[in-house]
A and B are shown apart, each in its own frame.
Chain A
Amino acid sequence: MKRQKPTFLFASLGLTALLVLALVAAGCTGTGQKTTPPAATQAPQAVATAAVVPQSTAPQAQGASAPAAIAAPVSGEKQSIRVSGSTTVLPIAQKAAEAYMAAHPNADIQVTGGGSGVGIQQIGEKTVDVGMSSRELSSTEKTKYPGLVKSVVAKDGIAVIVNRANEISVISADNIKNIYTGRITKWSQVFGANVPNTNQQIVVIGRDSASGTREFFDKAPEGILKGAVPVKSMLEKNSNGAVTQTVAQTPGAIGYVSIGFITADVKALPIWYNNPNDAIAPTAVNVKSKKYPINRELFMFTNGAPAGLAKDYIDFIRSPEGQKIVSDEGYVSIID
């Protein structure tokens, strides 16, 4: 028995080692070969995207040198960029990435959410190649990251959504504000609203404090709250999808999402300001014509003018083909 033990030890060690090696080899394909330099490291072409004027030339140099620590010579095989930020822009970025990659077998576009704040921070710190944002840069962000260049990729409206069980058909901007500031707590206090089989309690759902959508809704002149403080009992969700999902699950809920996140599971309410008969629905047409007032633009930021794969990718989104994806996803095309 004692003799067997060392054998067992070696056997198990050997097996573990084998397993590990196999995993590393099979799983993390080509651990050794370094590929995928971020786009910023490729020959920086000073070609600005249509809507963009580079603010200075210095950041381009920075952009070119920054992630070089991990970059190896371009093999001409794979190219990869990372895109992160606003969950509002995420579906556009993801769908466009899928379409772009289908046409370009060597391109790898990694898309992740996080929020506008994180997108701007990461592109500012150059930990990603493209930052998505559903809001403009704040003044502190402008001073901190002067090299950021924005490209408009879509137009968007923020829609107020309720559960399908709610009988309400239109809502006034005042009522939304009163609901979100806690002055109205029952659907019975809202004209036309009724949620059968409940006590009419309103479940207020909003976004987390780093969200661009929330900032627009809370603070922008076109927004609803115009600086008023939302009620403390508001349930906070960290993405558009989470808001839609919760509203769809909760009969008494009200929430706000980008119009790209309106699904058949929820009801998007037309909003009126002075006259109930002038209620405007949050549709792509109304957002495009700016008839629907809560509208904004969606951005992608690069550090310095876009270059390499990042440029091709952003150009693709802004092209008619890319803008068709934008429309298909429920957002509004920037092409007239």
Chain B
Amino acid sequence: MSGDNQSNIRNFCIIAHIDHGKSTLADRILELTSSVELREMEDQLLDNMDIERERGITIKARAVRLGYKADNGEEYIFNLIDTPGHVDFNYEVSRSLAACEGAVLVVDASQGIEAQTLGNTYLAIEHDLEVVPVINKIDLPSAEPERVCSEIENIIGIPALDSPRISAKTGLNIKDVLERVITDIPAPKGDPDKPFKALIFDSVYDMYKGVIIYVRVMDGSVKAGQTIKLMATGAEFQTVEIGYMGAKDLVPVGELRAGEVGYITASIKYIGDTRVGDTVTRADAPCDEALPGYKKVQSMVFSGVYPADGAKYPDLRDALDKLALNDASLTFEPETSAALGFGFRCGFLGLLHMEIIQERLEREYNLDLITTAPSVIYKVNLTNGETVMIDNPSNYPDPALIASAEEPVVNAHIFTPQEFVGNIMELCQDRRGNYIDMKYLDDTRVDLHYELPLNEIVYDFFDALKSRTRGYASFDYEMKGYVPSKLVKLDILLNGEVVDALSFIVHVDKAYARGRKITERLKENIPRQLFEIPVQASIGGKIIARETVKAMRKDVLAKCYGGDITRKKKLLEKQKEGKKRMRQLGTVEVPQEAFMSVLKLDE
């Protein structure tokens, strides 16, 4: 198959809410285009990380080239570019979208449009993408395709009445979708004679090839052996291999031309050199300007990550190094804590990103971790006129030196069935939310718009929202900016000693309640020890809450019979093991669970 004819190329992505069937649809498309033999298909081929598969979400974009013979008898090349579905990866989504001319919008026939779907659809429209709506899961008894169609028309404002009604699960009407891709989505219109210009929409690290950059060629063409330049970083490399992404393998080709999607390898060692959104051109014949929309991704949420077993510090460093090979948005630097020892301060795009990284560290690298409460970046204006950015409570300045402080806020949209509005408003109020407005999406569902401090949502907001809406609400946010705030640093003391890893920055109005809750949690999660342990919360040395872990009463092997001391020894070994899992803070032993228990306070 050749890419000579741009008019027979379609570059598109699929937008869908979690569980609305994006991956299943992608699988069906792969089947129908005979890209993969049926029996070789593992369900949901495009998502290839375990966590993605379990959570039903896509973390990193992937792309695949498919051949399709249309009803009009012509052969087409489809480049299906998968996009991450989550707000944390908004920027990556926008770059994937920029590589496409169109988007297939998959909406669940019984659930309707969700907050993230809408966010990504708007993003697609902003990028001038042609949106092809598809109603999925029409085989479900609860399917209401008519209602969902009118929802799409009313909310998004695109015609949806004659949109394909499909069941990705059973394979019903999938061909309709492909035909619509051909008729509705425009072919790329690059200029093959202009200098080479391509957009990086993703990159992965490969042990043998180095970084593989995924590109959409806008103009011109590229071949192996040419010297390319990455415009944002200025780095130059000689290309080694050029090709496209087959369903199962990378397929080398001689040349990638305008309108095509493919990959380039160039013995690139660091993924940081190949930033998503950057423009690739030829070093000897550069294009005149870079593609718009590039920005360097910024971490929004920070957390201390420590190995539960201090001896595993080097393992943690190796694991982070490896993850960072494939994830330029993960940042980390060494940090030490009196309580937790050696670890790393890690920066994440958002909450989900943080959870995913932590989970991958634990699952793929077999690490047992202790993480500290997530923090956002605070802006602290000092009395000497200086402004400092603080992402770690340990660095919070002495209150006497602080003139004022600011915290980041986000614009948050919560889509929910009407019945939960009361619960959600209560939650947002409790999280210091600022109500903006509420719009009816249809007769039963609303879009609640709040301004929320980011530090209130990095803290178990998703869980709280889920439990208050039985999982029916969806949530999306974008950064708005900084607002002045009354912040304090809350310290936790065990047996009179401050535990640095448990300190955090909080709004003064929330400090008392938070302090009380944390001391309660610690009390529940710190086992009784040989003597009583006071658990206190304090602000600037003033105690605001106190609980007590009572002294242990009984821990004895009373009977040791006939000189059989094996039990006693076994017990001792078991206790030694148990002790290893504890953190010794002064005279107090704190289990890992205690550190984790303060991260989820909403119950």
Same complex for A and B? Answer: no
Using CB atoms and an 8 Å cutoff, list the residues of chain B in contact with chain A: none
